[in-house]
Amino acid sequence: MQLVLLGPPGAGKGTQAARLVERFDIPQISTGDILREHVQEGTMLGIRARSYMDRGEYVPDGLVVQMVMDRLDEPDAEKGFILDGFPRTVPQADALERALAEAERPLSAVLQFDIDDDMAVLRLSNRWTCPTCKRTYNLAFKPPLEDGICDFDATPLERRADDDELTVRRRLAVYREQTAPLQRFYAARGLLCVIEAEGKEDVVTERMLAALAGCP
Ligand SMILES: [Zn+2]
């Protein structure tokens, strides 16, 4: 099963991805992580990527796709993989599609987690995290027992700097602008499965699995 996940911040994509990993025993592949690994280990691809990064330039899409394809050769990805955070643009999607076709491992589906902006803002701007145990709370949906204090270790809770409402709305606008062409690209190929991401995590998981069952 070869999957790409799309979804704005606040859609709960990370949680659902973790459930897919567990259920189907396939890895979630982050291009950020593999890029860092290649650079750290000084592989040929890493050295080439480094030369762009040192000049303050973006690593070309073709090079990132090569790293992804390289990662897919590892035994844990034999049954499939989940790509999250890549592709972000149509040229990247295009390069990925060609490489996957060549490897005879075309995408099975593109899961798009949908949530409206107001709900995403409600989720993100009310999110507080405990710096000690990393538990997260949500003032709107899952508040701590005592205001601003972790239930488990009494540490004062913190909020991410980019989780205030204005910044969240800006992140969402950027996301929509960036992703709309990608959605059209995958919809045109009959790969796009839209999943309503509002509601409880378990309910969203059920919707996701139902959508997957209906995928080619
Ligand atoms: Zn805590």
Spatial distance between the Cα atoms of 144 and 6, rounded to a whole number of angstroms: 30
pLDDT in tens, 142-181: 899 999 999 999 999 998 877 788 888 998 999 899 889 9
Under the banding of pLDDT at 50, 70 and 90, the label for residue 215 is low
Q: In this model, does residue 216 exceed pLDDT 80?
A: no
Q: In this model, does residue 102 exceed pLDDT 80?
A: yes
The pLDDT score that the predictor gives to residue 164 is: 83
Which one from 19, 48, 88, 159 is the annotated catalytic residue? 88
User: Which of 131, 141, 66 lies closest to 100, judged by CA?
Assistant: 66
142 catalytic? Reply is no
Q: In this model, does residue 52 exceed pLDDT 90?
A: yes
Q: For 77, which DSSP code?
A: G
Which one from 160, 184, 189, 200 is the annotated catalytic residue? 160
Q: In this model, does residue 117 exceed pLDDT 80?
A: yes
Determine the 3-state secondary structure of 154 from DSSP.
coil
Give distance in angstroms: CA of 148 to centre of ligand 1: 11
105 catalytic? Reply is no
Spatial distance between the Cα atoms of 130 and 149, rounded to a whole number of angstroms: 8
Full-model pTM: 0.84
